[in-house]
Every structure is written in structure tokens, then in C-alpha cells.
Amino acid sequence: MEKVISGIRPTGNLHLGNYFGAVKSFVKMQEEYNCMFFIADWHSLTTHPTPENIRTSVRTILAEYLACGIDPQKAPIYVQSDVKQVLELYLYLNMNAYLGELERVTSFKDKARKQPDNVNAGLLTYPSLMAADILIHKANKVPVGKDQEQNMEMARKFGRRFNMMYNVDFFPEPQSFSLAKEGGLKVPGLDGSGKMGKSEGNCIYLCDEPSVIRKKVMKAVTDSGPTAPNSPKPDVIQNLFTFLEIVSSKDTYNYFDEKWNDCSIRYGDLKKQLAEDIIIATDPIRERIKEFSSNSELLNKVAKAGAEKARESAAATLNEVRQIIGFRPY
């Protein structure tokens, strides 16, 4: 069975974009692949979170992954910082990574432009750490969005470079696993932008209470309405219809689509219906989030069991890496 690995930075609660875009697909993947999911707390250090923020965010993601349906018996969930072997492989990969290629990575250039006062070495070597996360388990596939494709190519490059340098066929080339092909959906933001994201402040979180969801949806950006029958929907309106497509019934979607086409649509009615459908779709997850979040003993047990399985896999890889390089195995 092919090995699949995926990580998420602990930057707060999961939102609808995370769920419908990735996590829902993960639940399906755990039945078909040898999956491991991790919480990438080392990656979060580039933004200098407080110790309390790290601890709280890690527990939040762990509880919400469980609430979404990831079964740790089928797919271990571990915290990145519980697997020290990743850092050693990160060191070895960095020894063979070159400044020029790291500086050309688009995500580094974007972040350096957005935060010129915090262009740290962790940002520069992010692709090396991501590669270590993947290669330490000799993963075959990695579910990623288009924004991570360049980093995936870097991971493949670092693996090939290690193999060539030491004349071995050790690391497999991890392939990008298209979330779209696995049923992942691009969920729009409520502000009319193309994508829901925490940094954009346009999210509906899985843990949001019904009253909060209603308030957010009613504030969603719209326009003055159609001026001609059967006219194309502008992006801000298409976003709302995309939401309907994801969470509402086909009849509901068709009803409002007809109202748009005959120019009788009332956005207030659409938003009210959309809010209720989102509440219904997320209610089971919201209740499970509360249940898991209050069970510290279970969360600790899941994280510990996941770390043990991840360390076993990572230690086996690292011992071979050390011997290939010329170091004594542990």
C-alpha cells in the first residue's frame, strides 16, 4: 500500500476551506492508503508564536482532525516536534541545498515581500524542512494544492540529489497528490475573493456557533443584482452559488439559480438559506469538536501513539541515511 503523508501548520481553527478542500479527502484516503498526518509546529516558528499559542493551536488541530473523521487507528496523527529525526535529516538536506535555488522559491519571495522585517533562515529553508517531513517516511504521495507544487519539486530534487551524491537508490520521488482529483473543493471567501483563508479574514470555522455563521454569511459581499435575464454571474455572486453547490441540496441550488436567471433573486433570502445549510452541514463536526476538545486524556493518548509510530518509521530511515553518509547508526 502506498504511503501518503500530509502536514498542516497549527495556525488556528480549521475552516470550511480546510475541510472541503482537504480534510474530507483525507478521511477517504485513510481507507485506501497508508496515511500519516502531522501537525507542523516547527514550521510555525517562522512567525514567532508564543509557547502558549503553540500548545493551544496543536491541541486545536488535533481535536478538529479527530472531529472531522480521521481515525488514528488507520492514519496516525503526530506532532512534528515529537519526531526529532526530522531535524537531523533537515540538517543533511540543507548541507546539499544551495542558496540560489532557495532564494528563487516563490513562497519565500512572497513572504519576504510581505514581512520584510522578519526574513529569517527558517523561511529560506522551508523547502528543506518540508522535504525532510516527506522523505523521512519515504512517502510516495503528498496531497498538496497548487501553491505547494514548487516545494514538492524541491523535495523531489533534494531526494534525487542525495541518491546521486551517494550513488544509491534510496529515496523515492514523492508525487503530488491532487486534492481536486480526490474530491477536494476550492471554497471561496465571504469577501468575494477567490479562496477562503485565515490571513484574508474571510473564513467560516468548523467550530463557529450557528449565530456566528449567520452573522458572517449575512455580511457576505454581493452586488446590486442582475439587470438582464440569464446574465453571467459576477465573481462575488458566483462565490455564493459555489457555497450552495457545496452545502445545499440540488433543488435549493436550482431554485436560486432560476431566481437569478429571471432577475427576481433576493440576496437576503439566499444568504439566510445558505447560512442554515452551512449550520446543518457542520453541526455534527461542531459537536464532536466540543467533545474531543474537552478530553485532554484522549488527545494526549492519540498524540503519543502517533509519535511512537512516526518515530519508528523515521528512525529506520535515518539510520540508513547515517550509514549511507558514513556516520555510525544509532
Catalytic residue set: 111, 195, 198
Report CA Rg, the chain.
22
214 lies in the same domain as 275: yes
Residue 181 pLDDT exceeds 70: no
CA distance 159 to 131: 8
195 inside domain = no
User: Do 25 and 111 share a structural domain?
Assistant: yes
Instruction: For residue 178, report the phi and psi dihedrals to the nearest 5 degrees.
Output: -65, 115
Residue 321 and residue 279 in one domain: no
Lowest mean pLDDT among 17-21, 61-65, 196-200: 196-200
**Within this chain, do residues 148 and 273 fall inside the same structural domain, yes or no?**
no
222 close to 237: Cβ distance less than 8 angstroms: yes
Asked whether residue 194 is assigned to any structural domain, the reply reads no
Residues 22 and 73 in one domain: yes
Positive or negative, the CA dihedral 323, 327, 329, 330 is: negative
d(CA 4, CA 14): 21
Q: Are 213 and 275 in contact (CB under 8 A)?
A: yes
The predicted-structure confidence for 28-41, as pLDDT tens digits, reads as follows 999 999 999 999 99
233: CATH: 1.10.240.10
In the predicted structure, residue 182 carries a pLDDT above the cut 60: no
Strand partners for 64: none
200 inside domain:
no
Q: Same domain for 175 and 237?
A: no
Q: How far is CA 327 from CA 92, 146, 165, in A?
A: 12, 37, 15
pLDDT band at 180 (very low <50, low <70, confident <90, very high): low
What are the CA-CA distances from residue 220 to residues 72, 126, 266 (Å)? 36, 35, 14
Least confident interval from 103-112, 267-276, 282-291: 103-112
Q: What is the residue range of 130's domain?
A: 3-186+296-325
Cα 192 from chain centroid? 21
Q: Distance between CA atoms of 144 and 7, rounded to whole angstroms?
A: 10
